[in-house]
């Protein structure tokens, strides 16, 4: 058996949308961290950090 296996699941529509949103935020977060000179105003990783700090 290999080290990795592919598993397929069927998610409810709402759960799928939330998971896709989290994945999209993470992708943007990674691209923002790898490109610190990126001047776009949309920085989800920073807004998430601020939300966690303000709680």
pLDDT tens for 15-38 read: 999 999 998 888 888 777 765 554
Q: Copy the structure tokens of residue 18.
A: 């939330």
How confident is the model at residue 55, as a pLDDT? 46
The answer to whether the predicted template modeling score (pTM) of the entire model surpasses 0.75 is no
6 vs 29, higher pLDDT: 6
How confident is the model at residue 53, as a pLDDT? 56
Q: Copy the structure tokens of residue 26.
A: 């993470």
10 vs 5: CA distance, rounded Å: 17
Half-sphere exposure of 7 (CA within 13 A, CB side): 3
21 vs 24: CA distance, rounded Å: 5
Residues 23-39, buried b or exposed e (16+ Cβ, 10 A)? eeeeebbeebeeeeeee
């Amino acid at each position: 058996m290999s080290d990795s296996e592919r598993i397929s699941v069927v998610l409810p529509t709402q759960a799928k949308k939330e998971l896709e949103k989290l994945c999209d935020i993470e992708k943007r977060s990674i691209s923002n961290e790898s490109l610190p000179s990126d001047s776009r105003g949309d920085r989800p990783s920073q807004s998430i950090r601020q939300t966690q700090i303000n709680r």
